Structure 1
């Protein structure tokens, strides 16, 4: 298959050194392509994480971040987390960590805590090291201590790793605990690839199909929107009833289809795609590979059901946003009896280096209260579209803040809410929030 100019530009960008500045005009000149082609390729590179546009700097090549979806933690991953070294038992690095145990007790007392798949975090206590290995657990030496040849030989025989780090026990335990929590959070973030309709179950047409073929597929499936691909299965457009109605039955779809449709990648979050679909009223979005090969579709109905399911699920691993939201309590109804008042106390974790409420934390509090208001008043899940903090005074630590809310405007797809933050009945912050509403499915 011939490589298109679009693909040539992406390959060129990928080979550039990290930090290299690029421009539409420069790409067009260097690769002898039009500026329009260069612009579209650079936007694609930005969507896939190859480049980033920074204000007052320009567009630069960046290191592409690959999303790791690790559901379980291996001993090999632990080595990377603690910046350690493997002394023996390398064949066991792919084994999965079940739990970690700190070797601070006598060998008799800790016997019942050591189980196969555990990680024993210990110093230079050879009896504990041996007990752990013989019980099917790996060993992590803190403080940079050496280990005897007998223990190293036993680790190789049992194929259980012995690792070493210069960190102390507390730091190691904190790092591993954080890694486990991070992985649980990553696991809970739903991506497009998790819920999309796969290609083998997707109905689509080709550019050489006709309007008659489109209406036949409509009658067969009951759907009215289909991706359109070329002979290489690359996405070329999307065809809807609006495109086909009134056209000759023999008209080719490439002449009537909507070109350059919205598209999604498997690594995109469902939340980001949902934001787009709600705001623009899009029913389906084709899911494509980096070279625009069709991979399936994602529907607005599936997105809405998933987002509503996520918001109803209990929290398994707390993010910083979850921890901030947990501080907000419902205080009672406002004077008009329309909406409840909310309240929170500015804890030490919420403040900046000056001892006042951090700006980012305040915005997260405002966002969470808006979500709560939409659920209470209109039974609607929501996505924040815009937030404007137009009045703000410094709020000291330990202050008890009340939050009064007023719904200014409410429509089918969006709502506008004003929030007034009060300290001893005196305003200390005011914000206007515009949010998108997710219809109930």
Structure 2
């Protein structure tokens, strides 16, 4: 085992709340400070420790991942409280599809695919058929597989799993997990698109305006993060900061200090709003104590949002449900029609307030794109109900421009059902492409 992994194992064995430091780890493990530092940073990424300002680095309870990056047979075991009887070597394989074995064996053949799992009760013939055709097996109802099927699963390297749940419950659990995974994959994070530090040009406070101009000419860029020599962010330097300044002026005298920044776990949508609202072209990406990890440009954000709009989806979010029911019979009149389906209602059978907000948001974005060929971010919205909107209603959203500026548009919103006013609202948006 490498020194790095030895330290990680040692940190993992420490009780929650134990304080550690580079010096204490290096002394305890009889290793260099550099090795200890790198291992502690890795432990922080894995959620084993957390660095708290003015307290230090503390062993914490391990965090679960924000999402299941890839749904594997191992994850199926976890979410169904299952037991693995055979084929353990295949647990890391990805799950792409599940099939409920509620048909004859002959009829199953067309549905048997690799990287899939057959959900089936106490049916030996169906279990064998799945394994023989490269499919894992999930046996429901608390039944156990026969020894010859376990041997076949081990031979094929395909997991054979048992669970006490019934087939319908298991199918519901897996369907929800797969839907959540698809939806979360659609959410782009800063960590997905940022430019890492090794590819980032930086300057230091004791550099001069002449150094800035040289770097700008070399890279073709005009904005750079300024960091201390320990890589801690202290500011941003742009072309306008150097106007009229002597080439000998040091950057610590002209930089924009305490700049806006973002973290790796921030969503691209939230960062887009921050950059538009504050007219930012560049955002430093930092970790705790403002240690610079890289940068994010306005161009990176725009590309990511355009890509996410083209990304195929196999499940329906609220936004997609609303889009499916959208019609725009009168673009010039800024009128958008929707139909209230059962999925859009609350337990009372009336239109959910959140879905109504989504109606207005999508109508607004569509109108901005039609009128200005620009994408938009909503920065303010208020909606007031006069009457509840029932299931199967045809809703008409009518927009009216209150005022416009170079970067912002404000709309008055009227919401009708059967030509009767049911709600009224106000929306303010910022333009992204301007």
The interval holding the TM-score normalised by the smaller chain is 0.7 to 0.9
Q: Take 2:387 and 2:61, find their aligned partners in 1: how far apart are those partners?
A: 38
Matched, 1:138 2:136: yes
Aligned match for 1:156, one of 154, 157, 170: 154
Stretch deviating more after TM superposition (412-421 or 100-109) = 100-109
Name 2:317's counterpart in structure 1.
Answer: 319
Residue 313 (structure 1) shift? 5.1
Secondary structure of 1:434's aligned partner: strand
Aligned 8 A contact 2:318 2:355 in 1: no
Aligned 8 A contact 2:339 2:392 in 1: yes
Alignment of 1:164-175 (within 5 A): 164-175=162-173
Aligned match for 1:386, one of 365, 380, 384: 380
Secondary structure of 1:206's aligned partner: coil
> Structure 1 residues 285, 431: CA separation in 2 closer, same or farther (over 3 Å shift)?
same
Alignment of 1:231-310 (within 5 A): 231-310=229-308
Q: Take 1:326 and 1:108, find their aligned partners in 2: how far apart are those partners?
A: 37
TM-score (norm 2): 0.80
Name 2:66's counterpart in structure 1.
Answer: 67
Residue 77 (structure 1) shift? 1.3
Q: Take 1:237 and 1:135, find their aligned partners in 2: how far apart are those partners?
A: 60
Name 2:424's counterpart in structure 1.
Answer: 430
Residue 421 (structure 1) shift? 0.9
Aligned 8 A contact 1:67 1:267 in 2: no
Name 1:412's counterpart in structure 2.
Answer: 406
Aligned match for 1:206, one of 190, 204, 207: 204
Name 1:361's counterpart in structure 2.
Answer: 355
Q: Take 1:232 and 1:299, find their aligned partners in 2: how far apart are those partners?
A: 23
Aligned positions, number: 382
Name 1:39's counterpart in structure 2.
Answer: none
Secondary structure of 1:353's aligned partner: coil
Stretches of structure 2 that go unaligned for 5 or more consecutive residues are 1-13, 18-46, 51-59
Secondary structure of 1:436's aligned partner: strand
Residue 112 (structure 1) shift? 4.0
Stretch deviating more after TM superposition (113-122 or 310-319) = 310-319
TM-score (norm 1): 0.79
Aligned match for 1:343, one of 334, 337, 349: 337
Stretches of structure 1 that go unaligned for 5 or more consecutive residues are 1-14, 19-47, 52-60
Name 1:82's counterpart in structure 2.
Answer: 80
Secondary structure of 1:364's aligned partner: helix
Name 1:225's counterpart in structure 2.
Answer: 223
RMSD of aligned residue pairs (Cα, Å): 2.8
Residue 16 (structure 1) shift? 12
Q: Take 2:106 and 2:390, find their aligned partners in 1: how far apart are those partners?
A: 51
Residue 78 (structure 1) shift? 1.4
Residue 201 (structure 1) shift? 2.2
Residue 159 (structure 1) shift? 2.5
